[in-house]
Structure 1
Amino acid sequence: MLKESIAIALRALLANKLRSILTMLGIIIGVGAVISMVSIGMGVRDKVQNSIASLGSNMLIVSPGAASSQGVRSASGSSITLSLEDAEYIKKMVQGIDYVAPAVSKQYQVIAGNQNWTTTVYGITPEYMAIKSLTVGSGSFVSQQDINSRNRVAVLGATVAENLFGELNPTGQNIRINNTPYQIIGILDSKGQSTMGQDQDDIVLVPLTTAQERLLGITYLNSISIQVTKLEGMDQAQEQITSLLRQRHKISGTKEDDFTVRNLTSIMAMMTETTGTITLFLGCIGAISLLVGGIGIMNIMMVSVTERTREIGIRKALGATYRDIMLQFLIESVVIGVLGGIFGIALGVSAAFAISTFGSLKTVLSAISILVPFGVSVAVGLFFGIYPARKAALLDPIEALRYE
């Protein structure tokens, strides 16, 4: 009986091809919209997570300047409250950390021959490579010997190397920073853009002591990056660092900290929650099309019941039961939902690939983002087919046979 009902439903749909296609169009667009919208949202989430992860895993960042917004204060990172001794003390006293990387930075115009490029020059230590997950594509990284000797050496990011030297490998050549020559000892592999759209390859790295004493003429730090061994120890390490720095800086009682300790893991959790909300919102927008498609199914099934009133009367007169008529029309509406869902999956997957290939957004497809909209399309066909099917099943056979 089920097989026969499906065959009858398919024949009824094929008998009115254009009407059936237009009915399914709402479901097709709805499923396609949900899949493509959710894939965009998941792509944004992955991009944010990868971008934050590229800054370093399990990382705390200590910046000079208070976190409170009360009163007049300098921007975080612009004060002179952090020193190299602070970084060394943190490395010595705090348990459960792998690396401590102090750093300073400033923008300079870098010159190579007749080419120049304005970029950010960072003064760093060897630990910076591990904590920021950097890899050297050519040459070597800043060593402890470079730190101790205050050598004028530099490691270039991929963007700086390309703009100053094109396709050539500049390792071993010289550049000028603030009219002082620096020898290029290495080129970093590309890391791409950050979450905020900043080019992570547009950097020049020099030894911290060289940057402080020979380039900037300062004794303070702009930041201290700290990698914690275990994710579970992030909060404890943050509390320890805050307590130690308050002691070192002689901050007591309710006095405001003159530094800020940021937890990138908390930032990632917040961003993941935000992007999850965006994904849900985009999916709901697409789901509206499914609702409209369901209303379209109900409408066309009502028309079908009206058109086939005499057929229903004949079936009832020949012994068809309430269940038989109900099943026939329910299967017909479900078939519309199933076919619409299948074509909608094809549309949504194609749209996601097209956006990823030709657009600037990365999309991520998953089994759940495909199966859930398909399941909803079938459920929509079933739900919106119940009323027309029930109406057909309740028709009086004598009145149905008299219908013109």
Structure 2
Amino acid sequence: MENVLRPLIVIGGSVVLTLLVGWAVDRLLQRADRRHHETPLWGLLRRCRFPYQLVLCAALLRGSYAQAELAREHSAAIGQLLSLVLIGATAWLLMRISTAVVESSYARYANQHQDAERVRRVRTQITLIQRIVTAVVGVLAVAAMLLTFPAFRAAGASLLASAGIVGIVAGVAAQSTLGNLFAGFQIAFGDMVRIGDTVVVDGEWGTIEEVTLTYLSVRTWDERRITMPVSYFTSQPFENWSRGGAQMTGAVYFHLDHSAPMDAMREKLQAILLECPAWDGRKWALAVTDTTPSTLQVRAVVSAKNSDDIWTVRVTVREQLIRWLADEHPYALPRVNTMAAAPAPEAEAVPSPRDGRPPRKATADGPGQL
């Protein structure tokens, strides 16, 4: 009877104690969340309930398993398994806590600052810091798990002795990866590009959607995702439309006939912009910027508060001005002359004033020579 009650009390007691402590901690976090609703930290920490309970249960079982006197012939293997579970659960709990702290800090900063550019910069930096913490905790957890095996502990001295050579070889073999890693730090803390910035890279227009230590994800206007190494942004030129403020100025070009009514076009452009909600009212202009033997190049300049609105204003101006010209002034649109050139008329003969010889025909240089 004792052989049955002892394991039941040890294992069952550990599980019951874990559930009670987990319930109590969750109630305290819930009460703190109601009292401090402006801080999302307590609500985010409630997501750590399961890894916290797993850590507590694994620690209790690891410490009291010897008193259970269960499967003594496999006690070493079971103890090592519980140690591995404890290390993994602890790493999981630390990752959850760091994520909660980072998200709470970002939410508080975003609520206190209205500058969208600064908020995007902080979001980019916090995202990379969170990934670094996750990577470090994961590596340390794996190392701690490996050190629980006697073979790895015995090989530790030789591994440390050869760490310098291995580091040199790994550095040479992973130059590209290390370059992207340091480029990620440069982008995050050098404020080159932020999450939410509108950029033009390699001829593609899009928005920075994700920033990691090794790559960036750009979401294009047609919902495609372009994954690019972060080293591209530190070694190649690119356009950042969100840099220095969200307000933008755009241009719309038209190729028109020389008879295009410029004054009427300026009045129509102003009327179109007054009815366009995306126009911010800062700037507009229309002028002839170039001319060719057959057309005029006319440029309309408009402004908007951000990159999305400038696209809307440009396409609205282009569409409505072309439609207005086609309906009201069709002669102003460029025309292509497809008629074949008419043949030159045959020159008449010039009579001879001196004799009766038949005169020669006139040439392109003048009348025929006698």
Shorter-chain TM-score range: under 0.3
Q: Which has the greater radius of gyration? A: 2
Q: TM-score, normalized by length of structure 2? A: 0.26
